Amino acid sequence: MLLVWILLWILAFIIIIKDYKTESTRWMASIAFLTGLGSFSVVYEENFMKYFIARNALSQSTISLMYSFNAILAAIVHYVTPCCMLIYGVSYANIVPKPLKKIIYTIFFIPSILSFILLPIKCNSLKTPEELILYFRQLTLWTVPYILAAICFLVYSYIKEKSYMMKKYKLITLIINVPCFGYVILSNFILRDLGLENNWRYFAILIPVEFIGFLYFAYKFGILGVKLKFERYKFAFEDMHELVSDSYIALDESFNVMEFNEVFSKNFLIENKKYKNFQQVLDLGKLSQYRGDLISLINASIEGNTKVMEISINAKVEEIFFEVKATPIILNTEYFGTVLLFKDITVYKRNVELIKQNQFQLIEKERLLSLSQLIGGIAHNLKTPLMSSAGGIQIIKRDTGKIYEYMQKNCSDTTEVKKLTDEINDWQQRITEYLIYMSDVITTVKGQVTEYSEIIESDFSIKEIIDKITLLMTFEFSKSKLKLSKELNIDYTERIKGDVNSLVQVLNNLITNAIEASAEGSIITLGGFKEEEKLIFYVKNFGTGIPVEIQSKIFNKMVTTKGKNGTGLGLYISKSIIKGRFNGEVYFESNDKETTFFVKLPLGF
């Protein structure tokens, strides 16, 4: 029996170590332990006690105490093991709802408790044959039905199982357990009821055979939660979960943390330590803001509603996006836990955003191309008559000179004629200057609306921008009796990549809007400054500000603050140009005293 005792406790140890989380496995381990305890009581009585009593002069009270200890061990085995067998069968079949388990399991232990109270605890070797028969007949009244019920539940679990794979495992469980349970009924109770006392000793043969069978099936298929696999390179697979590139955490049915990989710890945990439950992970990690959403996701997955949620975490350098999926672990309709998988979708999100930006830029380029063709044609048609007018003025100047020469030759008094011709020449000079100015303006405007297909990416300096704006807007400021203040905290040699005329067009439009919104004598500020890798221009004017109801849609097409005098296209086109040609942005700040429009450009675009 010494070998039986050792093998049964080894079996209990293997089972509990390999799968202590499964309820039925824990009860199976307790059965193996208690059966081993019974074998130990036999070894204790037949070997240890006889050895010490024979070798030592022990007092009668000491010997009685040793027999009492052995009787208590035997009583524990006889009274508790059948209860564990029944509960094992019930939990294996999974027929008791979880809320009722504690109550029902407690009821199962009532006969065991009554046996401790009502039946005498006395060593079997000290009982008479009549006492033994009576004792085991009393035990048989409830122990045999308990063990038979356990066998029935095991068979029922096998019959109701629909999965071929699980059915195979349950058949192996029946092959291992039913012979043992049946032999316990026969040798420990029924045969002893009939006065056949020593049949239980054949356990010394049965248990080693069962143990070898257990090892074989555990190695071949897996049984009782044990899967033994002796492989040469097993160590290479021990940390397989650390090779998973995505973050994951495994929770049991009570939300206790079973395990998580290093990637999860790096992404979501502040301290690299052992966490007892998911609540601690949420409280002490970076997922606290998604507490309710994650719990709802887990609960929904348990109910069969598979959902995916998206979260973001602020890392040291950038914001990281994750797609979270909860997968419940359910076996035989029993929920054991959940695995949360956090898939890093940051690159995907960045690519989607980049595609959106590229699509937006393409759309803006198409819009600007159509506008460029229209305004380019208008500029060309205006410049042609201007050049013709300039030629006509030269003819007038020439003919006026001829008239003056003729009058000098044929008239004695040419004072009045000279006065008139001088006035004509003076206006001719002024008109010529105006035409030159208009020609320069049209040239600049035409440059701003050059077709996209003809734009060659180049760079330009801040000085070029300011010179062009000054040329185009000087007359406007003079006519409006306003002043332009320049607050450019930028190196004038700083260069920007892109099309200079496009930027000039936008800034001129903002300045024109500021002029129209300002009272006579006001100051309009053209400013600029550098912020990290961004260059920011701004145009500020002092006035009543932009109405609140218009602010949210000021950059929409056909929205204007000028009433019938506005087209609602200026800011819309300006924003399209900055976004489409510079990948920048236009925004504003406005209150009841001043309004400032900002143009932010990336230097590295």
Tally the C-alpha atoms within 13 A of residue 37's C-alpha that lie toward its C-beta: 20
Among 42, 117, 52, CA closest to 73: 42
Position 108 scores a pLDDT of 93
Cβ within 8 Å of residue 450, ≥6 positions away:
372, 376, 499, 501
Q: How many CB atoms lie within 10 A of CB 303?
A: 8
* Per-residue pLDDT band at 536 (split at 50, 70, 90): very high
* Per-residue pLDDT band at 352 (split at 50, 70, 90): confident
Q: What's the whole-number mean pLDDT along residues 284-313?
A: 86
Q: What's the whole-number mean pLDDT along residues 519-535?
A: 88
Q: What's the whole-number mean pLDDT along residues 94-101?
A: 86
Among 140, 61, 76, CA closest to 109: 76
To the nearest 10°, the Cα dihedral for 296, 302, 305, 310?
A: 40
* Per-residue pLDDT band at 308 (split at 50, 70, 90): confident
According to DSSP, the residues that pair with 330 across neighbouring strands are: 335
Q: What's the whole-number mean pLDDT along residues 216-231?
A: 52
Confirm if 512 and 469 have CB atoms less than 8 A apart. Answer: no
Question: Best-predicted range by mean pLDDT among 97-111, 197-211, 333-347?
Answer: 97-111
Position 110 scores a pLDDT of 94
Position 402 scores a pLDDT of 77
Position 224 scores a pLDDT of 53
* Per-residue pLDDT band at 564 (split at 50, 70, 90): very low
Inform me whether the pLDDT recorded for 593 exceeds 80.
Answer: yes
Of 212-226, 271-285, 321-335, 372-386, which gets the smallest average pLDDT? 212-226
Of 78-92, 426-440, 486-500, 581-595, which gets the smallest average pLDDT? 426-440
According to DSSP, the residues that pair with 588 across neighbouring strands are: 597
> SS3 string of 192-233?
HHCCCCHHHHHHHHHHHHHHHHHHHHHHHCCECCECCCCCCC
* Per-residue pLDDT band at 457 (split at 50, 70, 90): low
Domain 236-344, what architecture? 2-Layer Sandwich (3.30)
Percent of the chain surpassing pLDDT 70: 79
Q: What's the whole-number mean pLDDT along residues 215-233?
A: 51
Position 32 scores a pLDDT of 85
The helix/strand/coil state of 464 is helix
What is the DSSP secondary-structure string of 33-51? HHHHHHHHHHHIIIIIIHH
Q: How many CB atoms lie within 10 A of CB 383?
A: 17
Position 234 scores a pLDDT of 41
Cβ within 8 Å of residue 409, ≥6 positions away:
none
Question: Best-predicted range by mean pLDDT among 304-318, 394-408, 446-460, 519-533?
Answer: 519-533
Inform me whether the pLDDT recorded for 288 exceeds 90.
Answer: no
Inform me whether the pLDDT recorded for 82 exceeds 90.
Answer: yes
Question: pLDDT tens across 14-48, in order?
Answer: 878 777 777 888 888 898 898 888 888 888 777 78
- Domain residue limits, the chain: 2-220, 236-344, 351-455, 457-605
Confirm if 504 and 599 have CB atoms less than 8 A apart. Answer: no
CA distance 214 to 166: 17
> Angle CA(186)–CA(190)–CA(191) in degrees, nearest 5?
80
Q: Is 553 exposed, middle or buried (0-12, 13-18, 19+ CB in 10 A)?
A: exposed
Of 184-188, 360-364, 481-485, which gets the smallest average pLDDT? 360-364
* Per-residue pLDDT band at 304 (split at 50, 70, 90): confident
Q: Token digits for 485?
A: 């203040």
The continuous run of DSSP H or E covering 438 comes out as: helix 415-448
CA distance 528 to 535: 7
What's the fold here for domain 457-605? Heat Shock Protein 90 (3.30.565)
According to DSSP, the residues that pair with 587 across neighbouring strands are: 598
CA distance 463 to 123: 110
To the nearest 10°, the Cα dihedral for 66, 70, 71, 73?
A: 140
CA distance 72 to 65: 11
pTM given for the model: 0.43
Confirm if 601 and 582 have CB atoms less than 8 A apart. Answer: yes
* Per-residue pLDDT band at 86 (split at 50, 70, 90): very high
Tally the C-alpha atoms within 13 A of residue 588's C-alpha that lie toward its C-beta: 25
Inform me whether the pLDDT recorded for 374 exceeds 70.
Answer: no
* Amino acid found at 469: I
Average pLDDT, the chain: 78
Angle of helix 60-93 versus helix 23-43 axis, rounded to 10: 160
Inform me whether the pLDDT recorded for 103 exceeds 90.
Answer: yes
Inform me whether the pLDDT recorded for 599 exceeds 90.
Answer: yes
Q: Token digits for 365?
A: 């380029």
Q: What's the whole-number mean pLDDT along residues 180-185?
A: 84
CA distance 350 to 478: 49
Position 365 scores a pLDDT of 64
